[in-house]
Structure 1
Amino acid sequence: MTSTLDPITGATAPDPAEIEAFAARAVGDAATWMVTTMTMLGDRLGLWRAMADSRPVTAVELAAATGTDERYVREWLSSMTAHGYLTHSPESARFTLPPAHVPVLAVESPAHIGGLHQALFGLTGILGAVLDSFRYGGGVPMSAYPTDWWQGLERFSAGWFDYLLPQVWLPALPDLHETLRRGADVADVGCGRGRALIRLAEQFPAGRYVGFDVHPESIEAARAAALAAGVGDRVRFECRDVSGELPGDYDVITTFDVIHDAADPLGMLRAIRAALRPDGRYLCLDINASHRLEDNAGPVAAYFYGVSVLFCMTTSLADGGAGLGTCGFPEHTAREMCARAGFGTVRRVEMENPFNILYEITA
């Protein structure tokens, strides 16, 4: 159907078929939000974990196993079945979590996204503050974010540190691996709840490890986790802003999805460069995006920009910072800023990952 002129404005009126097609897409997107919300509830209530054995279960049985109300559970099961997350037998009135869905929804694994759902659950609590930032500028400080956000981030990134770091990333970095094996002084900037350093300390016990973060609650959780893991003798954590100066000097410095969040990303890179020993290595993980908006298309990129509004950009702006945003430190910008910070080489590590880029950076 050809476009027509709007009789009131004189502008070209959109094709009704195009309106219908986009309306269908928008409704589908809204349905996806609803499914994500239901999935978050399943994670929060332990419903997925209770179905991890992939045995068919009724709503009554699942409610009894999880201490929840049967009527709500039955409606939740229906929602998840309608979206294809579960299968249903009309004859037995039983629901099954397919085996291929178990690692994604129900158990800890490299594919598990329960932490992502918990983090998104946490973000719902700061939407009002984000609306105010749209209206008046500024941003939402880290102190405003609830525990679910921080715990969810730790759970979501657990796959990096429990699987990818020891099994994929370090084997691709033989010189760095050997430095760690011999026993290195290691600093993790923006360490969060400490999982990366704890895993490194377990794998390379000859090293000495320190993590820095500006979020007090995360540092407290990191200290407790290090003691629980039995590595408190070689791992310590400090609540400190190191964007101006990183105390000490190190063989290895790491940042995992931190630079694009920083209030002063260039200052942080310069501090890392100053604290890196002459033969040291800086391992930088950041977002796999382009500096060209037209290249950042599709669901993953849309998710990146959304998280930027809800956390990455707004927390930086809350501190009067650069507000790079989630997609604000792509390879083009990373190379440019690292050169300005005084680094000599920036090597992109070869790996297949739609979410992140890993760099090995040296003086």
Structure 2
Amino acid sequence: MTLAEQQWPDFDGKEAEEFGEKLGDIINSGAIAFMISVGHKTGLFDSMADAGPLTSAQIAARAGLKERYVREWLAVMVTGGIVLYEPGARLYKLPAAHAASLTRGGALGNFAVYAQFIPMTGAIEDKLIDCFKTGQGMKYEDYPCFHQVMSEDSDQTVVANIFDLVLPLEPGLKDRLDAGIDVLDAGCGRGHALTALAERFPKNRFVGYDLCVDAIEAACDYAADAGVENIRFEARDLTDFDDVARFDLITTFDAVHDQKHPADYLKRLRRALRPGGVHLMQDIGGSAHLENNLEFPMAAFLYTASCAHCMAVSLGQGGDGLGTMWGWETAERMLKEAGYRRVERHMFEEDPMNVWFVSKA
């Protein structure tokens, strides 16, 4: 009998070996994810897309980078099964099927955007460990490049779908926007979604609020670069938001679950709507029950994002700390308790990770 078998009567050597192999794969995949983030930020994937086999020097030249670092990065991509390699000619190629989900404007969406969360959470590891010990939380400014990453995510999940999929969820909403109404984006981040709406519907009056000053500064610059004038951004803590019957449409895109007190927040937004007003809310579509999320897309990633960011920043404000996976059931219940006459839940086949709520005042 081995020492392990003496210590653990239910020890299964074969199972232990298989689990050890699984752990090795997990660690290896984490390294690949880190380098996918590097490839995205440096434009390496984009420089290889729609190109034939290239040498490391050619790829480096196309991306404006140094060849030795690019060659080592390529070794990770080759051994990770992402880039093809011809040993004799020392040529590298990013297959079109892989570029479809690794490049800006990729046909299947750019998953490299989400790889950026790996180094970002790694950068705050020590602070997070302190939170485990103290029970305290984090601040938004603790996270490097957070709003940049979230704006890229918003471009894919919100801006790309808002006109063809999201607005039609509420019959007649496009007509009201054409005529001109008052619109608030609560938790607007860098303002990409609101600016897209302001460009399309020039008769409307758009307002974007966000807690973070750096995000609002970026939103103002983004709208100015687009030449949009029917929009105003303001850094504002919405914890005590008390506007009454001011807006006809309120949007919240991936912005409710990490609030200080989401239930109270939703009630305040409801009071800010005029009679007949609409609240469009996007959030993560996972369940409030762990056992229901075993097959949910990227569930471990989302729980990691929750622990390292969304739950932590809510707790950092002295809040409820519900986290990313607070669950569509929780969101739906809170919306109904906020006093809406009608609450509808929708999901898009193109985006199985998110849920959309349309609530009518």
Cα deviation, 1:148-182, whole Å, max 9, x if unaligned, reads: 22211111221123311122222333322222222
Matches within 5 A, 1:335-350: 335-350=332-347
- Per-residue deviation, 1:304: 0.8
- Per-residue deviation, 1:111: 0.3
- Per-residue deviation, 1:10: 6.8
Letter in 2 for 1:362: K
Letter in 2 for 1:317: L
Corresponding residue number in structure 2 for 1:136: 134
Runs (4+) of structure 1 exceeding 6 A deviation are: 4-10
Distance, in Å, in 1 between the alignment partners of 2:58 and 2:189 is 38
Corresponding residue number in structure 1 for 2:257: 260
Q: Is this contact kept in 1: 2:278–2:359, CA < 8 A?
A: yes
Q: Is this contact kept in 2: 1:115–1:151, CA < 8 A?
A: no
- Per-residue deviation, 1:5: 10
Q: How many residues align?
A: 357
Corresponding residue number in structure 2 for 1:51: 48
- Per-residue deviation, 1:8: 8.7
Q: Is this contact kept in 2: 1:114–1:155, CA < 8 A?
A: no
Q: 2:34 aligns with which of 22, 33, 37?
A: 37
Distance, in Å, in 2 between the alignment partners of 1:256 and 1:56 is 40
Distance, in Å, in 2 between the alignment partners of 1:52 and 1:264 is 44
Q: 1:117 aligns with which of 101, 115, 118?
A: 115
Secondary structure of 1:342's match?
coil
Percent identity over the alignment is: 36
Matches within 5 A, 1:317-336: 317-328=315-326, 330-336=327-333
Q: Is this contact kept in 2: 1:161–1:199, CA < 8 A?
A: no
Higher mean C-alpha displacement, 316-325 vs 57-66: 57-66
Call closer, same or farther: CA 1:48–1:7 in 2, change over 3 Å. Answer: closer
- Per-residue deviation, 1:70: 2.2
Query: When the two structures are superposed, what TM-score results if normalisation uses the length of structure 1?
Result: 0.92
Distance, in Å, in 2 between the alignment partners of 1:241 and 1:75 is 45
Letter in 1 for 2:36: T
Distance, in Å, in 2 between the alignment partners of 1:51 and 1:320 is 46
Call closer, same or farther: CA 1:5–1:269 in 2, change over 3 Å. Answer: farther
Distance, in Å, in 1 between the alignment partners of 2:71 and 2:347 is 46
Cα deviation, 1:226-265, whole Å, max 9, x if unaligned, reads: 111111x211011111232243611100101111110111
Query: When the two structures are superposed, what TM-score results if normalisation uses the length of structure 2?
Result: 0.93
Higher mean C-alpha displacement, 100-109 vs 249-258: 100-109
Corresponding residue number in structure 2 for 1:96: 93
Distance, in Å, in 1 between the alignment partners of 2:62 and 2:3 is 60
Q: Is this contact kept in 2: 1:192–1:219, CA < 8 A?
A: yes
Corresponding residue number in structure 1 for 2:16: 19
Secondary structure of 1:314's match?
helix
Superposed CA RMSD in Å reads 2.0
Corresponding residue number in structure 2 for 1:354: 352
Letter in 2 for 1:170: L
Call closer, same or farther: CA 1:18–1:234 in 2, change over 3 Å. Answer: same
Secondary structure of 2:352's match?
coil
Distance, in Å, in 2 between the alignment partners of 1:304 and 1:98 is 28
Matches within 5 A, 1:1-363: 11-109=8-106, 111-146=109-144, 148-231=145-228, 233-247=229-243, 249-298=246-295, 300-328=298-326, 330-352=327-349, 353-363=351-361
Q: Is this contact kept in 1: 2:243–2:271, CA < 8 A?
A: no
Distance, in Å, in 1 between the alignment partners of 2:5 and 2:298 is 39
Cα deviation, 1:204-231, whole Å, max 9, x if unaligned, reads: 1111100111011000100111111111
Q: Is this contact kept in 2: 1:117–1:152, CA < 8 A?
A: no
Secondary structure of 2:166's match?
helix
Q: Runs of 5+ in structure 1 lacking a partner?
A: none
